[in-house]
């Protein structure tokens, strides 16, 4: 009961908490101009918390210490998990896990599969089983497409090598034929020269 009251108080505080933006964000047009930046400058009215200006980030806007990591929607504490061994420390009744974004996809799938097995709630994924099936299917498709690309590459390589070999053989045949033709022409010229020499010698 006391926890429900604290949750309601957290919801109310969240609703009342203003959106924190940088100084003169309404005058700026670049991307991310509405993100919070600490006001700088000696005469900055927003930094001095003057009336009529946007509020600055302050520790007074924080939620109660007891519910600092508790989600408003489900009332469970969200714990960031990085390894499968971290799941052993989770209390399934009061805690839900969130897989760290630094964890790789393969390891993430192993953690989620183990969480489903241990009946641990995952905070940032609605349907864990569906997500696991879809990601595994996409990984299999990627592997298949990669394998197909490799086989196609090998086939193209073999085809190029075959074409190059055939071209070399044809060039070799042409050179042989050319050399043979040149030899025949040389022989003919030599015979003609001999005949001319004979004719000249007979005349003498």
pTM over 0.75: no
Q: Is the distance from CB of 76 to CB of 94 less than 8 angstroms?
A: yes
Closest CA to 54 of 97, 90, 25, 86: 25
The tally of domains found in the chain comes to 3
For residues 30 and 80, membership in a common domain is answered with: no
The per-residue pLDDT for 192 is 77
> Do 201 and 156 sit in the same domain of this protein?
yes
Q: Report yes or no on 133 lying in a domain.
A: no
- Separation between Cα atoms, residue 200 and residue 125, nearest integer Å: 108
Same-domain status, 149 and 204 = yes
pLDDT digits (tens, 9 = 90+) for 1-56: 556 777 788 888 888 889 999 999 989 989 888 899 999 999 999 999 999 999 99
Number of Cβ within a 10 Å radius of residue 37? 13
Q: For residue range 191-203, what is the model confidence (pLDDT) as tens digits?
A: 777 777 776 666 5
Q: Please give the mean pLDDT across all residues of the chain.
A: 85
Q: What is the extent of the structural domain holding 90?
A: 69-125
Measured distance CA(87)–CA(92) in Å, rounded: 10
If pLDDT is split at 50, 70 and 90, which confidence band does 164 have? confident
Question: In which band, very low, low, confident or very high, does the pLDDT at 166 lie, cut at 50, 70 and 90?
Answer: confident
- Is 197 domain-assigned? yes
Question: What pLDDT score does 107 carry?
Answer: 92
Looking at the fold, whether 78 and 93 belong to one and the same domain comes out as yes
pLDDT over 60 at 109, yes or no: yes
């Amino acid at each position: 009961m006391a926890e429900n009251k604290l949750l309601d108080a957290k919801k109310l505080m969240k609703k009342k908490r203003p959106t924190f933006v940088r100084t003169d964000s309404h005058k700026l047009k670049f991307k991310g101009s509405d993100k919070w930046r600490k006001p700088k400058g000696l005469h900055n009215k927003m930094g001095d918390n003057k009336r009529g200006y946007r509020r600055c980030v302050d520790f007074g806007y924080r939620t109660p210490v007891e519910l600092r990591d508790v989600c408003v929607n489900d009332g469970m504490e969200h714990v960031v998990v990085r390894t499968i061994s971290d799941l052993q420390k989770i209390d399934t009744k009061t805690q839900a896990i969130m897989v760290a974004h630094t964890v790789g996809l393969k390891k993430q799938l192993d953690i989620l599969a183990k969480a489903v097995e241990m009946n641990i709630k995952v905070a940032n994924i609605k349907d864990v089983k569906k997500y696991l099936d879809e990601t595994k299917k996409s990984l299999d498709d990627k592997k298949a497409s990669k394998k197909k690309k490799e086989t196609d590459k090998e086939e193209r390589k073999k085809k190029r090598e075959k074409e190059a070999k055939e071209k070399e053989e044809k060039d070799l045949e042409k050179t042989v034929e050319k050399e043979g033709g040149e030899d025949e022409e040389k022989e003919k010229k030599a015979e003609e020269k001999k005949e001319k020499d004979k004719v000249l010698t007979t005349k003498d």
